[in-house]
A = this chain, B = another copy of it.
């Protein structure tokens, strides 16, 4: 891909659904405009003009506008060599991200309370949502890593699925580190991905967002 491509990624000042795409670009050494907007601007001016009423939004060369976080990340990953080595590995990365989105949704019943986006009794939703979701889903990620045997989720190389999963696990570790007591492999996985030479400066210097 020409490094002269101009990318503008618009999202909130959060990691959540934007950071996976940011990290694909950063891993690829690709410059981009990291357009972080606040909720007031989004609600008052931008949301009604947005195609689906959702962020993030990617603009490419001022000509193409793309919506939906996974679709954006997949396009960037394809352009920059992060989809996996063949069609089945690309499909496996797709599969993992799709499942991971469901896991994110499952945890949100706890996490949104924990970070103050929703009201609720944090201890109760931790017990009713976070703990059972971790115990049901973390073994799935452990098994994916065991099956690949490479330290990455898909094949022998890092893919956008690693970037998505490692980022969200960072959030879970930050807010519920005890969830990982039985799953040290997942904490090691996050460290491995975030120590990659292409990413480690970004991880150190990025805004200290709660999610």
Taking Cβ atoms with an 8 Å cutoff, the residues of A that contact B are 51-52, 54, 60, 64, 66-72, 74-75, 78-79, 87-88, 90-92, 94-95, 98-99, 140, 143
Q: How far is the CA of A52 from the CA of B60 in the complex (A)?
A: 34
**B residues near A79, Cβ cutoff 8 Å:** 87
If A78-B87, A87-B75 touch, whether A68 touches B52 (CB-CB below 8 Å) is: no
**B residues near A54, Cβ cutoff 8 Å:** 99
* A88 B71 Cβ-Cβ under 8 A: no
Main secondary structure of the interface of A (DSSP, over half): helix
* A71 B52 Cβ-Cβ under 8 A: no
**B residues near A68, Cβ cutoff 8 Å:** 94-95, 98-99
Q: How far is the CA of A103 from the CA of B144 in the complex (A)?
A: 29
Q: How far is the CA of A44 from the CA of B110 in the complex (A)?
A: 30
* A95 B78 Cβ-Cβ under 8 A: no
* A71 B51 Cβ-Cβ under 8 A: no
